[in-house]
Chains A and B, each alone.
Chain A
Amino acid sequence: MRSPALKFILLFVAQTALWNYFNFTPYVFIVFLPAMLLCLPAERGTVRVMILAFILGLIADFLVNGQMGLTSLALVPVAAFRRRVIRIVFGQEFFIRDEALSFHRQGWVKFLWAILLLTGIYLIVYIPVDCAGMYSSGFRTLKFLLSLLASSAVSMAAAFLLLEESDERWK
């Protein structure tokens, strides 16, 4: 598949279908929207990505969650910290060299770190708001850790799919 936009849309549809059909347990929440935001072109401005994150969150809530605003609330901070995370994990030179994100170029370990950080930001906001007044802090912590592990594994696959073409560029 050549079009990154089409891949992005299909992955978004996959995320909503995953949320709708695959809720195995309340202990695990799988999200790969932060990884999708990470894979947007790095030069894209923070404001534009935040607005995109807000809209994506609203659409996801409209289609699946029924609690309008919850996904947007968690996804906008991911967009806000996206460039900072890229700078921390991939280095300042990433922007100076005007590089494109690529598993081949930057290596999967760095990607895993970036995905862990961004997914962590998402879950830190999402889980307490979703579980407000309901669960103990122990349950929330367990849910956070299990969700972070499961989401990061799925996010790596999603990011790999989104960045296939830029990988080929570096071979």
Chain B
Amino acid sequence: MPGQKPSSLLISAATFILLELAALLLLRSSSTLQNIWMNRASHRTMAFLWGSGETVRSQFQMDELNRSLQAENALLQERLRAYEALDMDREELARMAARNAANYRYTPATVVKMSRNRTHNYIILNKGSDDGIHPQSGIISDLGVVGVVQAVDKHYSYGLTLMNPQMSIGARIGGSELVAPLTWDGRHSGRALLSNLPPHFNVAPGDTVRTSGFSSIFPPDIPIGVTGGSRLVDGSTRQVDVELFQDFSRLRYVTVVENRDRAAIMALEAEGEVTR
């Protein structure tokens, strides 16, 4: 640069390289080391600073939320009555299902902070390790899958929502046995993509997409959304649009689900990796 000494140019260049390398290293580690103190402090600060915004936001949606809770309450009462009317055989079956679901622990939580229109969206909940929340627990709502807990503080937990490219969920279409990874389409808050389906697989629009239950995070058969159009990708796999049931802009209350057997499953998986 004219008028600039070579030594100062050298110092500028060295500082530039040093700072860019430092930024790259930080960026590289921030996505994997969610539990390092800096990230936990960041999540706590974000929850403290911006949490009130979500409260204000929710106040404006209170009427709708009440209506939704009333509808859910009515649905639950209806189900309860249906269960009460079951005969013994059916009850036995129902209890078997209940035992299966009992592998999961459910903890209600409130959204403290949530991003919606970024490339990498996240969620902060008001429950943490003191409330028994552990990393790699699922986050669901009455309308479907929300995300996965990545890191926990004493009083807060931080998770990635389905609207994050790092999130992928094993999903099943309708009554089929076929399981495919479901990821966010990256553009719309209410749309995701089911990928890697066989090209000959015919998908009828309007089929319900549910969790497969093959992961140790989510229980099986949690509704996620309905199928839309589909297309061939590179002539070898089929990709299906999924309209999500969950409207992320109206999310306030969620449930954290934790597979009680997750530690045992992970240990088995690790053992399998070693012996392979």
Chain A interface (Cβ < 8 Å from any Cβ of B):
20-21, 23-26, 45-47, 50-51, 53-54, 57-58, 61-70, 72-73, 76-77, 80, 83-84, 87, 92, 95, 129-131, 133-135, 139
Task: Kindly identify, within residues 21 to 50 of chain B, every residue whose CB is under 8 Å from any CB belonging to chain A.
Answer: 22-31, 38-39, 41-43, 45-46, 49-50
Is A134's CB under 8 angstroms from B20's CB? no
Q: How far is the CA of A134 from the CA of B165 in the complex (A)?
A: 7
Chain B facing A: main interface SS: helix
Q: Among the listed stretches B86-94, B115-123, B220-228, which one makes contact with chain A, having 4 or more residues with CB under 8 Å of it? A: B115-123
- Which are the 7 A-B pairs with shortest beta-carbon distances? A69-B26, A23-B117, A69-B27, A73-B23, A72-B23, A68-B30, A69-B23
B interface residue count range (under 10 / 10 to 19 / 20 to 34 / 35 or more): 35 or more
Is B20's CB under 8 angstroms from A66's CB? no
- Chain A positions within 8 Å of B165 at CB level: 133-134
- Chain B positions within 8 Å of A46 at CB level: 12, 15
For residue B62, CB closer than 8 A to chain A, the reply is no
- 13 additional A-B pairs beyond A54-B19, A69-B23, beta carbons within 8 Å, are A23-B116, A47-B11, A50-B16, A58-B26, A62-B41, A62-B42, A67-B30, A67-B120, A70-B23, A77-B20, A130-B119, A135-B186, A139-B187
A9 CB, nearest partner CB in chain B, Å: 15
Q: In the complex where A47-B15, A133-B165 touch, is A66 in contact with B122 (Cβ < 8 A)?
A: yes
B189 CB, nearest partner CB in chain A, Å: 9
Question: Within the complex, which residue of A54, A62, A64, A133 is in contact with B22, where a contact is CB–CB below 8 Å?
Answer: A54
B211 CB, nearest partner CB in chain A, Å: 23
For residue B1, CB closer than 8 A to chain A, the reply is yes
Q: How far is the CA of A68 from the CA of B28 in the complex (A)?
A: 9
Q: How far is the CA of A70 from the CA of B8 in the complex (A)?
A: 27
Is B45's CB under 8 angstroms from A80's CB? no
Is B15's CB under 8 angstroms from A50's CB? yes
Q: How far is the CA of A76 from the CA of B14 in the complex (A)?
A: 12
- Chain B positions within 8 Å of A23 at CB level: 115-118
- Chain A positions within 8 Å of B16 at CB level: 50, 76-77, 80
